Structure 1
Amino acid sequence: MPTVNTVLGPVDTDDLGFVLSHEHVGTNAAGLRHTYPEFIDRNGIREQSIAAMSAVHADGVCRTIVDVSTFDLGRDVNLIREVSEGSGMQIIAATGNHVAVPRPFGDVPPDAIAELYVREIEEGIEGTSIKAGIIKVASDRGGITPPQEVVLRAAARAQKSTGVPISTHTWSPDRVGEQQVRILEEEGVDLDKVYIGHSNDDTDMEYLLGLLNKGVWLGLDRYPGGLTPGTPDWEQRTEVARKLMDAGFTNRIFLSHDYSVPKARYGAEVQEQRRRANPDGYNFIPRYVLPRLKALGASDADIQQITVGNARRFFAGA
């Protein structure tokens, strides 16, 4: 039976349950926790993350979270493992890179970076036995930069070597997912192993259907949304999800929040703004989005497919 790596070891894909496909335990920056550890309230992040994940897990809803924090987002795999142990949540950790690609990565061939990703998948992350279960890459406003292209090609080669799927960060108003797919196609990646994230930051159905017709998976993974001016609110995002279902793609979409706990030592005003924006945390989708989808005509079977069945198929490669 196919398995996927979690921070507590491999799990059968049939045992993933309800999956939130794009979340974070906590984010900061590369090297910060090593160089200025006093800047990060690690205990506070752990306690608040355990409480937030325990709440959604205790509701009998979510069983697995994909944490797509890469090392340059301050990934702390030991902290993620502690949160998993404390909450009962299965957590899949990521290798890869985010938007601000480390400067030396832009000066080397993709194969040199791919080797690093493969090591984190096959051997472990930062000297631990924790193995990555997904490869994260990122491109944003204005499209793919030259260093981001190197990283994207490295991710493609690591995916082909290991079979582990790719999850991307995009800016959908600039149709960045199309650029990512083009490069991944050039690298010969099976698009059934590709998840184009943040695809609900606008309502361009031509763009979204074009991606789905290429054979990728779509992450509708920014909820509640509406914080960035000009982007849809949560109800508009849910209407887009329903339109994609009506178009025959119930079996190719994911829902998630892109949430991380707002606990930190500094920036209290920003942290409070984030807390007010989503006081429900990882529970927002179960409490609001799924009932809204049902009100729009989605069946129980549709909800089960999106929240449980799709992740099982995505990670199993079926």
Structure 2
Amino acid sequence: MVIRTVLGDIHPRELGVCDAHDHLFLRSERLPGRELDDAAAARAELEAFRAAGGAAVVQWTPHGMGRRPADLAALSRATGVHLVCATGLHQAPHVSPELLAGLRGRLAEVFVTELTEGIGTTGVRAGLIKVAGGFHTLDAHARWTMAAAAEAQHSTGAPIAVHLELGTGALDVLDLLCGELGVPGDRVILGHLNRFPDPVTQRQAAASGCWLAFDGPSRAHHATDWRTPAGVRALAEAGFGDRLLLGGDTVTAGARSVDGGPGMPYLLRRLRPRLAAELGTELVARILTEHPGRAFSADWA
């Protein structure tokens, strides 16, 4: 089992302290003028994260949203931070209609190629598949992308990371991916559960064997910081402490620490000690190191 980074495969023990969900580059049709596309700022953010004790970042930016894989490789070399790049496809409004039309009938093939051969001509291989649900529902686009993700997962062994819109729809996603499409539960990572802090849903999701990602901890307009410690403690006490991941999910330039926002270092500077007070330092250390090493590693085919 190895983790596929932008510079090649590494053993999970090499990963170190990991931000399990973030973005260095991001371009969305829904966020015009708010792109993450500054390589110098991305490098400064990685350096700030490394100075705070970080060693790895998993970038969930999927196909068609400005991933810049060659720049990711250069940034990893320059900063010494391990980076994992995604393939996959977000909700339809995030990408152009022309791109969607060009992917019809070959989506799973694109995912597999980017995971096993590389993204375009860069030689950089993706290390996970990112897809997305809707708000309390799975529309036809979500079902199409998830079916393609499941097909690619069966072919490669790659993990599937799922954007849950405002944290909703977790059980519907698991019914589709793990129930209908046969993806093993431990190959599924559910993102944004902290935005819909329903403890019953979270326990039911964890019982599938999937990973629960608490990400975007600095967003004051979501129920995040003040509920995350109690939520993860409840999951740990219910026996699911080994299914947890933490991430920052920086999606706009203004959210970067180098641009005046909390950014990637917030995860380690503020959230880590707060969680340690609730869970103990040993479990928090495992959530930041051992758990990402297991969640994002694969026996690649």
> What does 1:224-303 correspond to in 2, within 5 Å?
224-227=218-221, 231-260=222-251, 262=253, 271=254, 279-296=261-278, 298-303=279-284
CA distance in structure 2 between the partners assigned to 1:243 and 1:293 by the alignment:
12
Residues 31-180 of structure 1 mapped to structure 2, 5 A cutoff: 42=37, 45-59=38-52, 61-100=53-92, 103=97, 112-172=106-166, 175-180=168-173
Pairwise CA distance, 1:200: 0.6
In structure 1, the residue matched to 2:15 is 16
**Gaps spanning 5+ residues in structure 2: where?**
none
CA distance in 2 between counterparts of 1:209 and 1:278 reads 36
Q: CA 1:216–1:111 in 2, change beyond 3 Å: closer, same or farther? A: farther
Paired residues of 1:49 and 1:261 also in contact (CA < 8 A)? no
Query: Which residue in 1 is equivalent to 2:189?
Result: 195
Match of 1:6 in 2: 5
**What is the deviation of 1:85?**
2.1
Question: Counterpart amino acid of 2:206?
Answer: L
CA distance in 1, matches of 2:100, 2:136: 18
Given the superposition, is the C-alpha separation of residues 103 and 261 from structure 1 closer, same or farther in structure 2, using an over 3 Å criterion?
Answer: closer
1:47-80 deviations in Å (ceiling 9; x for gaps): 1111111112123x21110001112222211222
* Matching residue of 1:268: none
Q: 1:285 to 1:147 in 2, by over 3 A?
A: same
Query: 1:166 is aligned with what amino acid?
Result: I
Deviation track 1:140-163 (CA, whole Å, cap 9, x = no partner) reads 324211022111000001001000
The residue aligned with 1:306 is 287
Residues in 1 aligned to 2:172 and 2:162: alpha-carbon distance in whole angstroms: 11
Aligned residue identity for 1:313: R
Q: Which runs of 5+ in 1 are unaligned?
A: 33-37, 263-270
Q: CA deviation at 1:316?
A: 3.5
Relative distance call for 1:48 and 1:104 in structure 2 (3 A) is closer
CA drift of 1:278 comes to 7.0
When normalised by structure 1's length, the TM-score is 0.84
Distance in 2 of aligned mates of 1:140 and 1:71: 18
Q: Which amino acid aligns with 2:230?
A: E
Give the TM-score normalised by structure 2: 0.88
CA gap of 1:172–1:215, structure 2 versus 1, over 3 A, is: farther
Say if 2:192 and 2:213, in contact at 8 Å, map to a contact too: yes
Quote the Cα distance in structure 1 between the aligned partners of 2:109 and 2:285: 37
Q: CA RMSD in A?
A: 2.9
Q: Which residue of 1 aligns with 2:204?
A: 210
Matched-pair contact (CA < 8 Å) for 1:65–1:91 = yes
**Aligned partner of residue 235 in structure 1, secondary structure:** coil
Q: How many aligned residue pairs are there?
A: 295
User: Which of these two proteins has the greater Rg computed from alpha carbons?
Assistant: 1
Q: For the structure 1 residues 141 and 274, does the alpha-carbon distance in structure 2 shift closer, same or farther, using more than 3 Å as the test?
A: farther
Write the distance in 2 (CA, Å) between the matches of 1:180 and 1:299.
Answer: 31
Query: What is the CA deviation profile of residues 88-120 of structure 1, one whole-angstrom value per residue up to 9, with x for unaligned ones?
Result: 111000000011266578789987311110000
| CA offsets 1:232-272 (integer angstroms, 9 cap, x no match) | 1412222212221222211101011101461xxxxxxxx4x
